[in-house]
Structure 1
Amino acid sequence: MTTSAVPAPRTQVTRKDVARFAGVSTAVVSYVVNKGPKRVAPATEAKVQEAIRLLGYRPNAAARALKLGSTETIGLIIPDNSNPFFSSLARAVEDAAAELGYALLLTNSDGNLAKERRNLRNLAARQVDGVVLSSVLFEPDLAELEFDDIPAVLLDHDADTPGFNSVGVDRVTAAKSAVEHLIGHGHTNIALAMGINTGNFMDGREQGWLQALTEAGLPEGPIVRSFFTRDGGYTAGQRLLASANRPTAIFASSDMQAIGVLRALREAGLSVPEDMALASFDGSAEAEYSWPALTTVEQPAQAMAEAAVAALIGARRGEKPEHRTFPTQLRVRNSCGCH
């Protein structure tokens, strides 16, 4: 059987055009495009796929969403995708979503509550099937999503929030392990470069730092609060060096802050770890390739992302919300004094 000629270019190629060109029914084209519900013989599927390629057919996403009751899209809100940790987290969420046939809409809040709420409104208006949110608040306002019955998962969240699915690590225990490691090197004056959070709540990383010092019988070291950025860390490093109670070691609440601290120390003519030891939190790739390489608490980005996407799908099926805590790992490198 000979196939019909390629139709002249038109505004939109339809499923009927593909069916006519491949010599099959429109139902068969639908089975191929949607990968079911009925199986299609390999030879027939090959003809349909060739017709789709030659004609440049693109399924109507709006019509498909209406038929399935799903846009097959997940929204993701993170503070800053230029931060290597959040960049890797976003990539892991995208990969996990794609494995289940979902596309990803990525937005940034810049750590700003107004932008976070605007992003939530925009995603709700697009009727996404769920939202993965790394919020600036411990208990974010998700009324926009709840009104449209859109499930949400709190990502990079360190405690159970009743009524919500959440995924994260025990920041208190994780930070404590890093500070205890610095104490093990003989440091008794350990500072904290702490990121600023919008909700003004005590971050688990600060709690872990304080617990480690208290249990070791050490005084509370100096604290400088700045943004979770390289520039924020740079400013924190300068202020700690100018402090009357200059520390001998610093725990930074993010790798990006630690990178900024490194610059401040270098500019002051200090060596790491000889003059000042340093440890951080996140476990981004940048921590491994800084100089010296950073001792850091590594969060399992891939496992957290996969759990977040799975929780969204589970919520759509009516499964009860839960909090999942993942273990961290202290990656010991050179900045703390280890070789």
Structure 2
Amino acid sequence: MSRSSSSSPSRATRNDVAKLAGVSPAVVSYVVNGTKRVGPDTEERVRDAVAKLGYRANPSARALRLGSTEMLGIVTPTTTNPYFAQLAHEVEAAAAKRGYMVITSSSDSSIATERVQLEQLAGRLVDGIFLCSTVFEPDLRNLDIAGIPIVLLNNSAGVPTRDSVGVDLLHGAHLAVEHLAEHGYDDIGIVIGGTTGDEEDGRETGWRESLERLGLTPGPIARGSFTPDGGYEAMRRLIRSDAVPRALFVSSDQMGRGVLKAAHEAGLRIPEDVAIVSFDGSLDAAYSWPTLTTVAQPLAEMAEAAVEALLGPPHERVHMVVEAHLVIGRSCGC
């Protein structure tokens, strides 16, 4: 026979824990929520009482009391790309310093899925959202209506009506192309990922500008998705058309992995036959073979700036652009 609800044990309260531990309810809150330090003996008594009573804090009651859920959301195009996984991790670390936890979700590079994820986060009453959108200027009117602040993260273009944080893609592309040119390569092509909104990526613009400034003729362009498979297929097309340049700027480390695989299969040596510089500075670059020379994005700096924009004092709209830096591997010929 099942037990009736009237005979079920009642849920332990904060006052129950305080009574058993011999402290005030406020001290229980300090220990459970980590909001104030208490003596080690007192903390041990409280934690023992919590364990014995099976006490669990009521997040809804706490949110109502504070006027905050102390939760933030982040939507990235994918959670399988090491770049976005590391960026989300840095956001979690920066938010934790302020007492916030972060819910991570993925749009699978779909505008429709991105909207669904944003609506679900809004339904969970998060205090703010970081969006790594699949388009440069997403439609966020529903979040505005709900009064949920948002920061566009990994956004290099900047949107006048939004706080945004991104890396200087033009400068990063200049670093890559100029480094290859310094090696004496005058035939520099590009393997570039496509954007959902079909806007020209800043890396492609920077590649063109650098070649023009150096007086070099642009090499071939091969397009694909920002994935290893996208880089692989793009490189295979260059190989089949006998259009492989002496050097390649590849717009992401993930694509760089695919380029390397296609080159190895075709018997091309890196960097002896094709020199490569990629973009992002993720673990993909460090653990490829040969290691990829890459334009690294300062993810911790970007995350800190995004959290400050979301949780800091009121301010005018800000677009923060951070500079990338070159990390030397073996793929460029150094």
Aligned partners of 1:153, 1:131: CA distance in 2, in Å?
A: 6
2:289 pairs, out of 275, 288, 291, with 291
TM-score (structure 1 length as normaliser): 0.91
SS in 1 for 2:233: helix
SS in 2 for 1:88: helix
The answer on 1:323 being equivalent to 2:322 is: no
1:75 pairs, out of 59, 73, 76, with 73
Code of the residue aligned with 2:134 in structure 1: it is V
Q: How does 1:75-224 map to 2 (within 5 A)?
A: 75-224=73-222
Report the equivalent of 1:49: 47
The answer on 1:12 being equivalent to 2:11 is: yes
Compared CA separation, residues 101 and 238, structure 1 to 2 (3 A): same
SS in 2 for 1:172: helix
Report the equivalent of 1:3: none
Aligned partners of 2:193, 2:272: CA distance in 1, in Å?
A: 25
What percentage of residue pairs aligned between the two structures are identical? 51
Code of the residue aligned with 1:94 in structure 2: it is E
SS in 2 for 1:224: strand
SS in 2 for 1:92: helix
| Cα offsets for 1:45-98 (capped at 9, x unmatched) | 442232113323111001111111111001001111211111111111111111
Bigger mean CA deviation after superposition, 144-153 or 265-274: 144-153
Q: How does 1:232-271 map to 2 (within 5 A)?
A: 232-271=230-269
| Cα offsets for 1:103-126 (capped at 9, x unmatched) | 110001111111111111111111
| Cα offsets for 1:269-326 (capped at 9, x unmatched) | 1100011111100001220121111111000011111111111102xx4222211111
Offset at 1:27?
A: 4.0
Report the equivalent of 1:276: 274
Stretches of structure 1 lacking an aligned partner (at least 5 in a row): 1-7
Aligned partners of 1:31, 1:298: CA distance in 2, in Å?
A: 40
Aligned partners of 1:93, 1:10: CA distance in 2, in Å?
A: 40
The total of aligned residue pairs comes to: 328
Cα RMSD, aligned residues only: 1.9
Would the aligned equivalents of 1:193 and 1:225 in 2 still touch at CA under 8 Å? yes
Aligned partners of 1:125, 1:313: CA distance in 2, in Å?
A: 20
| Cα offsets for 1:144-165 (capped at 9, x unmatched) | 2211111111111113311211
Aligned partners of 1:239, 1:49: CA distance in 2, in Å?
A: 62
Offset at 1:186?
A: 2.0
Offset at 1:219?
A: 1.7
Offset at 1:34?
A: 4.2
Would the aligned equivalents of 1:120 and 1:144 in 2 still touch at CA under 8 Å? no
Offset at 1:190?
A: 1.5
Offset at 1:35?
A: 4.9
Aligned partners of 2:127, 2:331: CA distance in 1, in Å?
A: 43
Would the aligned equivalents of 1:124 and 1:144 in 2 still touch at CA under 8 Å? no
SS in 2 for 1:264: helix
TM-score (structure 2 length as normaliser): 0.93
Compared CA separation, residues 57 and 269, structure 1 to 2 (3 A): same
Report the equivalent of 2:3: none
Offset at 1:11?
A: 5.6
Compared CA separation, residues 255 and 46, structure 1 to 2 (3 A): same
Would the aligned equivalents of 1:153 and 1:312 in 2 still touch at CA under 8 Å? yes
Report the equivalent of 2:28: 29
Aligned partners of 2:38, 2:188: CA distance in 1, in Å?
A: 66
Aligned partners of 2:125, 2:234: CA distance in 1, in Å?
A: 42
Would the aligned equivalents of 2:171 and 2:323 in 1 still touch at CA under 8 Å? no
Code of the residue aligned with 2:211 in structure 1: it is L
Aligned partners of 2:47, 2:110: CA distance in 1, in Å?
A: 46
Offset at 1:183?
A: 1.6
Offset at 1:140?
A: 1.0
Aligned partners of 1:36, 1:218: CA distance in 2, in Å?
A: 59
Code of the residue aligned with 1:326 in structure 2: it is V
SS in 2 for 1:179: helix
Bigger mean CA deviation after superposition, 322-331 or 19-28: 19-28
Offset at 1:36?
A: 5.5
Would the aligned equivalents of 1:158 and 1:171 in 2 still touch at CA under 8 Å? yes
Aligned partners of 1:212, 1:106: CA distance in 2, in Å?
A: 37
Aligned partners of 1:70, 1:215: CA distance in 2, in Å?
A: 52
Report the equivalent of 1:337: 333
